[in-house]
Chain A
Amino acid sequence: MPAITMNPGFILILVGILSIFMKNNKQRFILSMAGLATSLFIILGLPEGERLLTFVFLDFEIILLEVDVISRNIALVFVIFGAGAFIYSYKFCKKKEFPLVNFYLGFSFMILFVGDFISFFVAWEIITVSAFFLIYDINDAVRQHTAQYYILMHVSGGLMLLWGIILHVTESGSIILTMPERGLIFFLISIAVKLAFVGVHTWLPRTYANIPFHISVILSAFTSKIGVYGLYRIIELDNMLIAYFGAFSAILGVILAMTHSDIRKILSYHIVSQIGYMIIGIGIGSELGIVGGSFHIINHILYKGLLFIMAGTVIYSFGYENLENLGGLWKKVPITFVTSLIAALSIAGFPFFNGYLSKTMIKHSTDNQIIYYGMMIAGIGTALSFIKIMYFGFIREGNNPPMKKKPLFSMRVSMVFLAGIMMTMALLPEQMESLFNISTGINYFSAYEVWNGVQPILIGLALFPILQKTIEPHPEQPIEPDFYCDICNSFIEFDNKVSKIHTGDMVRYVSWVLFALVLLLLNFYVTSLF
């Protein structure tokens, strides 16, 4: 097969530009799928471990193509999920959304394969900007507020990244993407914002619960995984502290998830929690841990994407997303029910589903008891909250919301497509291991492992009747003010004061000039004394 050495991101960026000129959604959809197919073809033929497509920018060598196993596998799943998301959503996408989604995907692909900090930063920031435009809506004040929150959060993270890069580059003199020599903490802050670490996760539920469902499908699958990938590229030593932080994030994420009742809010907090698992894997830093973490990224993109698709279908068909208003859906939308059950079992780590494989890998990569029990608790929480979604949303009798629209054929196709791929992956663990060039020797389907995997779910099932009252669905606000809003407000107050001192009074302005002169002279006088 002739290999094209090209960063696959560029294809999608090109497709994004072209799709501006297309006439209707069908053409744009076909073009986007063609773009994805081309990039799939390119990814399969990319040579590993070489630094290609280099050029010089500001005395630095930019490396636009550097492939390793993990980036290639993540790119493959990006292609698969990108295709699923396009199939799912092309009927609802507005004209402006196709180019933006393509740019967003294109730069997400690009960031997987770049080998230097400058292009990493460029892609990092453009992902933020294109997501901003996707979230923004001209007629919806809530989405405007959300978009503003999103871009402020992410740009502050991006500026931290820039600061870290500057520190690293002035220290080491090279911009090759590697473990930074100085300012590691700034890289970590930046990545923490991108991957929605607990504490700076606030943008995530706020965003994904307030935007149209087809956009939340696309954004939720990629944004935070880029952050995890960035963590993988930047942390090269084994760092147990980071693994502890990951466990902390995993537990807190599920606790927050259980207290909410909008489906997409629960799913959003679950992203926070699941990202915790990936951080654990990467923080442990052994080969098995890293592979487990990145395999978890892949699984997570698929099942979380599928769950967001489920949420979207429910919103499309019934018009509600608060569990309070739902119930007994399994008879009305059986395909949605079955596929989302598969996804829910996967995310809970039930044996013979794909989340189980990567969770087992991460568990096997360390002997640390804190991590082990942390993952156990997080697993129980995950099981509980998905029992909550499944029970209150699909199974319980009670509310019987009328079905407004039947799910479209394309929606069902994408659900079955993604569920099929997930099940294939789940049942072929050896092939998955060989895709990562690793042989773990774990017997995934032995009784011991299966028992280990089932435990948290059984505990969750046992706890559910006890906790049912406390986690019962309740109505929710679209935007909850938080700590960061308070900071912004205090800034605005301060700035009000600053602009109030410009009264237009000439005497005041002239006295400023004289004051400055006196201060300057005084300063020179004082410094000359010493």
Chain B
Amino acid sequence: MDLLIWLIIIPLFTIFSIGIFNYINKKFVLPVVFTSAILQSGIAIYYIINRNNLLPQLYNVGNWQRDIAINLSIDNFTLVIFVLIAIMPLLSLLYSITEIQRKPAKFYLLINVLLLGASGMVMTADLFNFYVFFEIASISSYALVAFRDEDISLEAAFEYLIIGSIGSVFLLLGIVLTYQATGTLNMAMIPGRMAEIPVITRQVLMSLFIIGLGVKFALVPLHAWMPDAYQGSPISYIVLSSGLVVNVYFFVLVRILFIFFGVEFFQETIFTNLIVGWGVLSMLFGHGAALQQDNLKRLFAYSTIAQLGYVIIAFGLGTEAGIVAGSFHLISHALLKGAIFFTAGNLHKATGSYQIREMKGMAEKMPVMSIIFVLMLIAMVGIPPSNIFVSKWLILSAAVEAGYLLPAFMIVFGSFLSLGYYLRPVITIYTGYTGFPGKLPLLKFNEYFPTLLLAGICLIIGLFPGYILNIIDTAPEFLLEQSNFIIHILGG
């Protein structure tokens, strides 16, 4: 069954129906939003469960010839993101019910635009449509960052807008140059023609793609927008961003680099070393900057930057084990970081502030949330039996096998640094303090359920990593072998 087009149709229709229902009767907005979110998750889960007999699948919009058509494709590598599409949006929307009290319809609308862009970016198989979806997702992100209408949000949104637009310009330049050089925008036809153009042109193209997309997944030093944006935006958006959207940008960059240029080209141009080194830099910088943050959201923003550094290292190795390890870390970091942000949001309910020093003594007021928070932070360092332990194990052994001993050791060192800054909120929360104002609001079901569910999923993945590894272990086939992807899109 060709369900994949529905991942674009459903959010598109939801966007319009939210507008209409908001005008007719506001009561219908929530059911519409959740029906659409459940349907989207359902489609993703459907593809994950039936991966063996459905994948790879191609949807040809309008039934044109394959080389000029708008192709939507899904293969085993796409499943990495589908795992996140199945989980994160639904939980994030569930959490937003209480968090977004002002203009909820507008928020749901923007979130659906974002989801539309993200799903489109993952599935599209030509660069033109990719750029369209990329801009859809970006612009809705700018609006979502500004959503809270506070000084910091507006400033952050402006910052994000400027830096993001510069990134988009470079990306567009890259796409235009690709079209100039190869004469096509079909992602399956580019690789064959790319091999014929001069090396220096290919390298320029590569740089433009890296900068254009690197801005979006906060590659150091293109990361500057992220801490500010996270500090200013609602938790529901942060979870969706760090749990899905950032990963989608990274995913697309990986696909572009691997499919267009090929692994052999990386090895010829010492590109592998560059990317691994850059990942190490990104990781150390993120961990280093996080140590001194006073704001919990900023702290975790830097932590996200650092954790994506691990993923960059793993994919940069260019080996099968590296890709599996990187995909695993992408998923497990997204889930755990989502849970941590939800918990931070729950703790925030008591103090009304995300400043770490104002969370003093939370543990006595919210014992269960606090202990979950602490355990998840310790899990984030990679202490077993967490899912991060498994992913670190995979990344480390992939890196050592590929001969990158120093970067692998830096991963170990980075984990140690991360423990240093995770301890700060822990110690502040677990400090005796009596001067708490007033009575605490009770947590609602939709606030603690997403937290507990995500934490539970993380623990299960940590104990039984096979569930996720079975899904992603065929992912490298469509990255390392360009021919697999080309045959899949263009046919035999």
Q: Is A434 close to B, CB under 8 A?
A: no
Contact B364 A138 (CB under 8 A): yes
- Residues of B contacting A122 in the complex (Cβ-Cβ under 8 angstroms): 384-385
- The distance in angstroms between the C-alpha atoms of A169 and B413, with both chains bound, is 19
Distance in Å: Cβ of B153 to nearest Cβ of chain A: 14
Partner pick for B269 among A156, A498, A527, CB 8 A cutoff: A527
Scoring A residues 498 to 530 as 1 if CB is less than 8 Å from chain B, else 0, what string do you get? Answer: 110010101011101111110011011101100
Contact A499 B384 (CB under 8 A): no
Distance in Å: Cβ of A160 to nearest Cβ of chain B: 8
Q: With A520-B210, A521-B204, A527-B269 in contact, do A512 and B222 touch (Cβ < 8 Å)?
A: yes
Contact A155 B162 (CB under 8 A): no
Contact A515 B383 (CB under 8 A): no
Chain A interface, number of residues (Cβ within 8 angstroms): 53
Q: Is A484 close to B, CB under 8 A?
A: no
Q: Is A41 close to B, CB under 8 A?
A: no
- Residues of B contacting A155 in the complex (Cβ-Cβ under 8 angstroms): 381, 383, 416, 419
Q: Is B432 close to A, CB under 8 A?
A: yes
Q: Which residue of A lies closest to B211 (CB)?
A: A517
Q: Is the interface of A mostly helix, strand, loop or mixed?
A: helix
Distance in Å: Cβ of B434 to nearest Cβ of chain A: 11
Partner pick for B207 among A129, A170, A520, CB 8 A cutoff: A520
Distance in Å: Cβ of A90 to nearest Cβ of chain B: 23
Partner pick for A159 among B155, B204, B416, CB 8 A cutoff: B416
Contact B397 A166 (CB under 8 A): yes
Contact A58 B393 (CB under 8 A): yes
Q: Which residue of B lies closest to A140 (CB)?
A: B432
Q: Is B465 close to A, CB under 8 A?
A: yes
Q: Which residue of B lies closest to A133 (CB)?
A: B374
Distance in Å: Cβ of A133 to nearest Cβ of chain B: 9
Interface segment out of the listed B36-44, B50-58, B61-69, B285-293:
B285-293
Q: Is B336 close to A, CB under 8 A?
A: no
Contact B155 A528 (CB under 8 A): no
Contact B163 A528 (CB under 8 A): no
Distance in Å: Cβ of A515 to nearest Cβ of chain B: 7
Scoring B residues 429 to 455 as 1 if CB is less than 8 Å from chain A, else 0, what string do you get? Answer: 011100000000000000000000000
- The distance in angstroms between the C-alpha atoms of A496 and B294, with both chains bound, is 12
Contact A144 B207 (CB under 8 A): no
Contact B383 A129 (CB under 8 A): yes
- The distance in angstroms between the C-alpha atoms of A494 and B292, with both chains bound, is 10
Q: Is B3 close to A, CB under 8 A?
A: no
Contact B396 A163 (CB under 8 A): yes
Contact B222 A163 (CB under 8 A): no
Contact A510 B166 (CB under 8 A): yes
Distance in Å: Cβ of A166 to nearest Cβ of chain B: 5
Q: Is A492 close to B, CB under 8 A?
A: yes
Distance in Å: Cβ of B216 to nearest Cβ of chain A: 12
- The distance in angstroms between the C-alpha atoms of A128 and B396, with both chains bound, is 22
Q: Is B141 close to A, CB under 8 A?
A: no
- Residues of A contacting B228 in the complex (Cβ-Cβ under 8 angstroms): 504
Distance in Å: Cβ of B199 to nearest Cβ of chain A: 7
Contact B385 A166 (CB under 8 A): no
Contact B270 A521 (CB under 8 A): no
Distance in Å: Cβ of A97 to nearest Cβ of chain B: 15
Scoring A residues 99 to 137 as 1 if CB is less than 8 Å from chain B, else 0, what string do you get? Answer: 000000000000000000000011001101100000010
Provide a sorted-by-A list of 18 A–B residue pairs whose CB atoms are within 8 angstroms: A58-B394, A125-B384, A138-B364, A144-B430, A152-B423, A155-B383, A155-B419, A162-B382, A163-B412, A495-B288, A498-B285, A502-B224, A508-B224, A516-B211, A516-B222, A520-B211, A524-B200, A527-B269
